[in-house]
Amino acid sequence: MEKLNGKKKIRVSVFISGRGTNLKSLINFSKKKNSPIKIVLVITNNKKAKGIYYAKKNKIKSLFINYKNKNKAETKILIILKKYKINLICLAGFMKILSKQIISKYKCRILNIHPSLLPKYKGLNTHKRVLKNKEKFTGCTVHIVNLRLDSGKIILQKTVKVLRKDDESSLSRRVLKVENLIYPRAVKKFISSNL
Ligand code: GRF
């Protein structure tokens, strides 16, 4: 992919599977004066993803991709990303693992947000495992996506204290608030040093 002229807005596609609070926070960031990004496309593997609402509300194109056949789905995604001239992909609660086909094409152009202090607690059910291990701190991380799950270079991370009274839902709620805060910051930081 071409190196971008600093003045051009980075064309972003956000991939979601559900609620979409991180999408919402990225949309709000994109609407700010001098924001470096323009969100042009939301992709989802879930027709019923609540987050699609935020795309519609903001007149952002959203597309459902049927993931029954992953290879076909990814081939289709690649064609669409090209059509919409996407420079950066932000995964925001996208519950499918991208394969080499997409990751190598968009090398160092895919970000993900994960609800733990990576490299700790990769994968699913992070809050449950954090509580089980009686961790005093957890947090969230925005990182570059590479071929190994939740293992790419860390862009930004923020710590959240685990409270004694926390259960999975209270902890995930507090971490999510911080996620919504750091994702735009991480995108800004990533763009200023990489694109
Ligand atoms: C977030 O906790 C994110 O870290 C994880 O999935 C959740 C998505 O939340 N990957 P939302 O759909 O952005 O509200």
Q: What is the pLDDT of residue 91?
A: 98
When comparing pLDDT for 7 and 144, which is higher?
144
Q: CA–CA distance from 143 to each of 91, 121, 163, 181 (Å)?
A: 10, 14, 26, 15
Pocket around ligand 1 at a 6 A CB cut-off: 16, 18-22, 51, 92-93, 113-115, 176, 179
Q: For tokens 């949309």, what's the residue?
A: 27
195 pLDDT tier (thresholds 50, 70, 90)? confident
The C-alpha atoms of residue 161 and residue 122 are separated, in whole angstroms, by: 18
To the nearest 10°, report the CA torsion of 143, 11, 147, 121: 30
Q: Which of 24, 109, 114, 127 is catalytic?
A: 114
Pocket test for ligand 1, best of 50, 91, 176, 177 (most atoms within 8 A of CB): 176
Helices 168-194 and 21-30 pack at an angle, to 10 degrees, of 30
CB of 87 within 8 A of CB of 118? Answer: no
Q: What is the pLDDT of residue 87?
A: 97
Domain total in the chain: 1
Q: What is the pLDDT of residue 194?
A: 87
Pocket test for ligand 1, best of 16, 128, 174, 179 (most atoms within 8 A of CB): 179
pLDDT above 90 for 3: no
Residue owning the nearest CA to atom 9 of ligand 1: 93
Query: Does the global pTM surpass 0.85?
Result: yes
Domain of 133 in residue numbering reads as: 2-194
Annotation says 143 is catalytic: no
pLDDT above 80 for 7: no
Mean per-residue pLDDT for 29-55? 97
CATH number at residue 96: 3.40.50.170
Q: Summarize pLDDT for 92-120 with one digit per residue, the tens.
A: 999 999 999 999 999 999 999 999 999 99
